[in-house]
Structure 1
Amino acid sequence: MTGNQIEALIGMLVTFGLLVLMVLPSVIGIVRDRRIDRQIREAQEDREAGKEPQPQKSSSRSTVPSTATWYADGRRSKKLVSS
């Protein structure tokens, strides 16, 4: 390959890469919208069929507040007294 051919190949690859970078967000958005549409359709079909929706999965961890929450609650409960 000559130098001109290599430059042309690099130019085509860069152009193709830029095209992919510009089109990729649109493709991701279309796929996401189709997934959401499918979930909505399934939920409507379940509602029309009289089925109860599947319960959401909950975490097995307890919901104990963190140390930062305890500290913030203590700070909020103090009232400023003006003299």
Structure 2
Amino acid sequence: MGNLTVRNLDDSVIARLKAQARQNERSLEGEIRHVLKREVSGPRRAAEFFARADELAATTTGTRQTDSAALIREDRAR
């Protein structure tokens, strides 16, 4: 495995990472590894996200897709 050094990182970013690490019961280094791995492994662009959403919608062809905004409005009206 390689090593990585990040210089000139804002103190506020470090503080948020430390808080996140405590919340997730990881070391700061472990939390940073987790965040980096998650960011490079997941969908990287909106286009990829929407392409995947279209693929999932295609698996339910013929089934009416509900509008989540309409459902939220309906719930708020109760």
Give the structure-1-normalised TM-score: 0.28
Determine which structure has more spread, i.e. the larger CA radius of gyration. 1
Q: TM-score normalized by structure 2?
A: 0.30
Of structures 1 and 2, the one scoring higher in RCO (CA 8 A, sep 6+) is 2
